[in-house]
Amino acid sequence: MMLLTQAAMGESASKEAMIKARQGEFETAKLLIQQADEAFVEVHKTQTSLIGFDEGEGKVPMTLILTHIQDHIMTGMLAKEVAIEIIALREEMAELKAALTR
């Protein structure tokens, strides 16, 4: 369940970062991306620990919950990547708007 919580935290921070970027709060958005990064580092550590325990021998059965958790991890990581691009685009748009209004 720790994996699920960590993945959800990363995904949530990524989505909130996009909202903050839309509101022009770019520094807050970038801090949220850092939080997402930290969550996904913890996800990776936990996954690595599970893989090490399993040793490729099937000691950790592939259950529905593990499949569900992996889905959350992948979508969360994708959300972070998309958020990074959206933040950059919103920042560029804000700079262009500011330049046009001068």
Active site residues: 68
Q: Which two tokens stand for residue 17?
A: 């970062």
Rounded Cα distance between 47 and 27, Å, is: 30
- Select from 39, 38, 40, 16 the least CA-distant residue to 29: 16
Rounded Cα distance between 15 and 6, Å, is: 14
- Select from 7, 25, 9 the least CA-distant residue to 17: 25
Element (H, E) at 77: helix 64-100
